[in-house]
Amino acid sequence: MQLTAKRFEELTAAELYDIYRVRVAVFVVEQRCAYQEVDDADRRCWHVALRDDDGIAAYCRVIDPGVTFPEASIGRVLATRRRQGLGTRIVREGLAVARERMGADAVHIEAQTYARGLYEGLGFTQVSDEFLEDGIPHIGMMWRADGTRYPSS
Protein backbone atom coordinates (compact mmCIF):
# COMPACT_ATOMS: atom_id res chain seq x y z
CA MET A 1 0.00 0.00 0.00
CA GLN A 2 1.16 3.47 -0.81
CA LEU A 3 0.26 6.36 1.50
CA THR A 4 -0.24 9.86 0.13
CA ALA A 5 -1.08 13.04 2.00
CA LYS A 6 -1.63 16.09 -0.17
CA ARG A 7 -3.21 19.50 0.09
CA PHE A 8 -6.02 20.22 -2.38
CA GLU A 9 -3.81 22.31 -4.66
CA GLU A 10 -1.24 19.47 -4.85
CA LEU A 11 -3.73 16.89 -6.12
CA THR A 12 -3.75 16.02 -9.80
CA ALA A 13 -7.07 16.04 -11.63
CA ALA A 14 -6.97 12.22 -11.70
CA GLU A 15 -6.31 11.98 -7.95
CA LEU A 16 -9.16 14.39 -7.18
CA TYR A 17 -11.48 12.42 -9.46
CA ASP A 18 -10.56 9.15 -7.68
CA ILE A 19 -11.21 10.73 -4.26
CA TYR A 20 -14.60 12.14 -5.25
CA ARG A 21 -15.59 8.93 -7.03
CA VAL A 22 -14.90 6.73 -3.97
CA ARG A 23 -16.45 9.21 -1.51
CA VAL A 24 -19.66 9.46 -3.54
CA ALA A 25 -19.76 5.66 -3.93
CA VAL A 26 -19.59 5.17 -0.15
CA PHE A 27 -21.34 8.18 1.38
CA VAL A 28 -24.02 8.93 -1.23
CA VAL A 29 -24.71 5.66 -3.07
CA GLU A 30 -23.89 2.92 -0.53
CA GLN A 31 -25.35 4.82 2.45
CA ARG A 32 -28.26 6.11 0.36
CA CYS A 33 -27.75 9.64 1.60
CA ALA A 34 -28.37 12.54 -0.74
CA TYR A 35 -26.27 15.46 0.48
CA GLN A 36 -23.64 17.91 -0.76
CA GLU A 37 -20.67 15.53 -0.54
CA VAL A 38 -18.15 17.92 -2.11
CA ASP A 39 -17.81 21.02 0.05
CA ASP A 40 -15.56 24.00 0.71
CA ALA A 41 -13.62 22.12 3.43
CA ASP A 42 -11.99 20.08 0.63
CA ARG A 43 -9.90 23.13 -0.26
CA ARG A 44 -8.68 23.56 3.34
CA CYS A 45 -7.45 20.14 4.33
CA TRP A 46 -5.00 17.33 3.76
CA HIS A 47 -6.34 14.48 1.63
CA VAL A 48 -4.91 11.23 3.00
CA ALA A 49 -5.20 8.03 0.99
CA LEU A 50 -3.93 4.48 1.06
CA ARG A 51 -3.72 3.12 -2.48
CA ASP A 52 -3.01 -0.28 -3.94
CA ASP A 53 -3.25 -1.76 -7.43
CA ASP A 54 -7.06 -1.42 -7.31
CA GLY A 55 -6.98 2.30 -6.44
CA ILE A 56 -8.00 3.96 -3.19
CA ALA A 57 -8.29 1.36 -0.42
CA ALA A 58 -8.85 3.87 2.41
CA TYR A 59 -9.22 7.63 2.65
CA CYS A 60 -9.80 10.48 5.08
CA ARG A 61 -9.43 14.21 5.04
CA VAL A 62 -7.75 16.19 7.82
CA ILE A 63 -9.37 19.60 8.00
CA ASP A 64 -7.49 22.70 9.12
CA PRO A 65 -8.32 24.10 12.58
CA GLY A 66 -10.98 26.78 12.39
CA VAL A 67 -12.77 25.43 9.31
CA THR A 68 -15.39 23.20 10.94
CA PHE A 69 -14.19 23.24 14.58
CA PRO A 70 -11.63 25.24 16.54
CA GLU A 71 -9.47 22.10 16.52
CA ALA A 72 -8.23 20.09 13.55
CA SER A 73 -10.81 17.60 12.35
CA ILE A 74 -10.85 14.28 10.53
CA GLY A 75 -13.73 13.40 8.24
CA ARG A 76 -14.91 11.42 5.22
CA VAL A 77 -13.24 8.31 6.66
CA LEU A 78 -13.75 5.28 4.45
CA ALA A 79 -12.31 1.89 3.59
CA THR A 80 -13.27 0.22 0.34
CA ARG A 81 -12.71 -3.25 1.86
CA ARG A 82 -14.16 -3.90 5.30
CA ARG A 83 -12.75 -5.92 8.20
CA GLN A 84 -9.13 -5.62 7.08
CA GLY A 85 -7.98 -2.88 9.48
CA LEU A 86 -7.96 -0.22 6.77
CA GLY A 87 -10.30 2.11 8.65
CA THR A 88 -8.11 2.01 11.75
CA ARG A 89 -4.97 2.50 9.69
CA ILE A 90 -6.31 5.51 7.77
CA VAL A 91 -7.48 7.22 10.98
CA ARG A 92 -4.03 6.63 12.51
CA GLU A 93 -2.47 8.18 9.40
CA GLY A 94 -4.89 11.10 9.65
CA LEU A 95 -3.92 11.67 13.27
CA ALA A 96 -0.24 11.60 12.27
CA VAL A 97 -0.91 14.24 9.59
CA ALA A 98 -2.78 16.40 12.13
CA ARG A 99 0.11 16.17 14.60
CA GLU A 100 3.07 16.39 12.23
CA ARG A 101 1.84 18.76 9.53
CA MET A 102 -0.62 20.93 11.47
CA GLY A 103 0.93 20.80 14.93
CA ALA A 104 -2.45 19.72 16.29
CA ASP A 105 -2.68 18.49 19.87
CA ALA A 106 -6.43 17.83 19.65
CA VAL A 107 -8.73 16.48 16.93
CA HIS A 108 -12.53 16.82 16.83
CA ILE A 109 -14.68 14.47 14.76
CA GLU A 110 -18.34 13.79 14.10
CA ALA A 111 -18.40 10.00 13.86
CA GLN A 112 -21.20 7.80 12.62
CA THR A 113 -22.44 6.22 15.83
CA TYR A 114 -21.94 2.65 14.63
CA ALA A 115 -18.18 3.36 14.33
CA ARG A 116 -17.78 4.57 17.93
CA GLY A 117 -15.73 1.49 18.90
CA LEU A 118 -13.18 2.10 16.15
CA TYR A 119 -12.59 5.65 17.34
CA GLU A 120 -12.58 4.76 21.05
CA GLY A 121 -9.90 2.18 20.26
CA LEU A 122 -7.77 5.01 18.86
CA GLY A 123 -8.21 7.20 21.96
CA PHE A 124 -11.24 9.30 21.04
CA THR A 125 -13.83 10.14 23.71
CA GLN A 126 -17.50 10.86 23.05
CA VAL A 127 -18.26 14.52 23.81
CA SER A 128 -21.83 14.96 22.58
CA ASP A 129 -25.18 13.30 22.63
CA GLU A 130 -26.18 11.43 19.50
CA PHE A 131 -27.54 13.62 16.70
CA LEU A 132 -28.70 13.13 13.12
CA GLU A 133 -26.49 14.39 10.30
CA ASP A 134 -28.15 13.92 6.92
CA GLY A 135 -30.43 11.29 8.49
CA ILE A 136 -27.55 9.20 9.92
CA PRO A 137 -26.87 8.97 13.69
CA HIS A 138 -23.58 10.64 14.68
CA ILE A 139 -21.71 11.59 17.86
CA GLY A 140 -19.07 14.23 18.53
CA MET A 141 -15.73 12.80 19.67
CA MET A 142 -12.38 14.31 20.70
CA TRP A 143 -8.80 13.02 20.70
CA ARG A 144 -5.77 14.54 22.45
CA ALA A 145 -2.14 13.92 21.51
CA ASP A 146 -1.12 13.60 25.16
CA GLY A 147 -3.65 10.80 25.69
CA THR A 148 -5.80 12.81 28.08
CA ARG A 149 -9.41 11.76 27.75
CA TYR A 150 -12.10 14.38 27.41
CA PRO A 151 -14.97 14.00 29.84
CA SER A 152 -17.81 12.01 28.25
CA SER A 153 -21.05 13.83 27.59
Listed by start position, the domains of the chain span 2-144
Average pLDDT over residues 30-57: 88
Average pLDDT over residues 45-66: 96
Task: Output the CA torsion 49→41→101→124 (10° steps).
Answer: -80
Homologous superfamily of 2-144 in CATH?
A: Gcn5-related N-acetyltransferase (GNAT) (3.40.630.30)
Check whether 47 has a pLDDT greater than 80.
Answer: yes
CA dist., res. 37 & res. 23, Å (int):
8
- pLDDT tens, position by position, 124-151: 999 999 999 888 899 999 999 988 877 6
- pTM of the entire structure? 0.91
Which of 145, 146, 116 has the alpha carbon at shortest distance from 128?
116
Check whether 153 has a pLDDT greater than 60.
Answer: no
- pLDDT tens, position by position, 1-23: 999 999 999 999 999 999 999 99
Displacement of CA 91 from its chain's centroid (Å): 7
Check whether 28 has a pLDDT greater than 50.
Answer: yes
